[in-house]
Amino acid sequence: MVDFKTVIDKLKDIISERSLSKKIFDKDVASELGIPQATFATMKKRNSIPYEEILQFCAQKKISVNWLFFDQAVDMLIEETNKFFQIRYFADIRASAGGGAEVFDETYETITLDEKIMHNMVGMGSTELEAIHVDGESMEPTLQDGSIVFVDRAQTNIGRDGIFIASTTAGLFIKRIRQRADGMVELISDNKNYSPEVLAPDEVSIVGKVVGNIESL
């Protein structure tokens, strides 16, 4: 169990170092956390740690929360943190396997996937991935309607085989993309019921390469 006094004593040390003051009192900690002194005194009596205020304090001062509460040095956390991938998940964005879909916006949430899952799925080490939905059946059986694909924006070279997200005047498409000898760009579906679409180079912008997919999160 985390002890109120232990945490507050650490906060006093931090405040003392930053303010160059010899003695820091409870009222000084309460002031730094934005808590009324009477409320702080009651919390101390009840051993009720003000987690929300302390987390905000740590974020502002760039202090490790793990060190403050559990004495875990920052170096101890790096190896464990690197075992996970932080992925920007655009829940409202659909890359169309049929007609055009919405372009990327700034509305996303961050999801975390275990390193082992990601390596098994995409076979690569990039941690700069984004996730969006597939809309339509033109990439079946490779990609199902409604599945989630992981996109690496660093990979935009269509000279290498693969599936890409392309931004066009009609919206986002998820296709195999090939540049023809005459310079025109073909958007090719895996579903043979769909014919390739041909666009001029200036009508296509490659967003990134699809490096993995799952049916649902």
Q: What DSSP string describes 94-138?
A: EEESSS-BPPP-S--EEEEEEHHHHHHHH-S----EEEEEEESST
Q: Indicate the pLDDT class of residue 88, thresholds 50, 70 and 90.
A: low
Mean pLDDT of 2-23: 81
Q: What does each C-alpha distance from 80 to 75, 85, 115, 167, 176 come to in angstroms?
A: 10, 11, 10, 36, 36
Query: Looking at residue 172, what is its pLDDT?
Result: 85
Distance (Å, whole) CA 166 – CA 177 = 8
* Residue spans per domain, the chain: 4-80, 84-214
Mean pLDDT of 162-167: 91
Nearest to 153 by CA among 172, 170, 181: 172
Is the confidence at residue 68, as pLDDT, over 90? no
Distance (Å, whole) CA 152 – CA 154 = 5
Query: Looking at residue 102, what is its pLDDT?
Result: 46
Q: What percent of the chain has pLDDT over 90?
A: 24
Is the confidence at residue 80, as pLDDT, over 90? no
Q: Indicate the pLDDT class of residue 101, thresholds 50, 70 and 90.
A: very low
Is the confidence at residue 116, as pLDDT, over 90? no
Buried b (16+ CB within 10 A) or exposed e, 102-128: eebeeebeeeebeeeebeeebeeeeee
Query: Looking at residue 103, what is its pLDDT?
Result: 47
Instruction: Kindly tell me the sign of the dihedral angle through the C-alpha atoms of 170, 210, 206, 158.
Output: negative
Query: 84-214: CATH homologous superfamily?
Result: Umud Fragment, subunit A (2.10.109.10)
Distance (Å, whole) CA 119 – CA 88 = 17
User: How many helices and strands (H and E) does the chain possess?
Assistant: 7, 9
Mean model confidence pLDDT for the chain: 78
Strand bridging mode 171-179 / 163-168: antiparallel
Q: Which range among 14-23, 55-64, 96-105, 171-180 shows the weakest confidence by mean pLDDT? A: 96-105
- Name every residue whose Cβ is closer than 8 Å to that of residue 107 and which is 6 or more positions away in sequence: 90, 92
Q: Which residue has the tokens 């076979």?
A: 123
Q: What percent of the chain has pLDDT over 70?
A: 70
Q: Which range among 22-26, 35-39, 194-198 shows the weakest confidence by mean pLDDT? A: 22-26
Q: Indicate the pLDDT class of residue 37, thresholds 50, 70 and 90.
A: very high
Distance (Å, whole) CA 182 – CA 82 = 45
- Identify the residue with better confidence: 81 or 154: 154
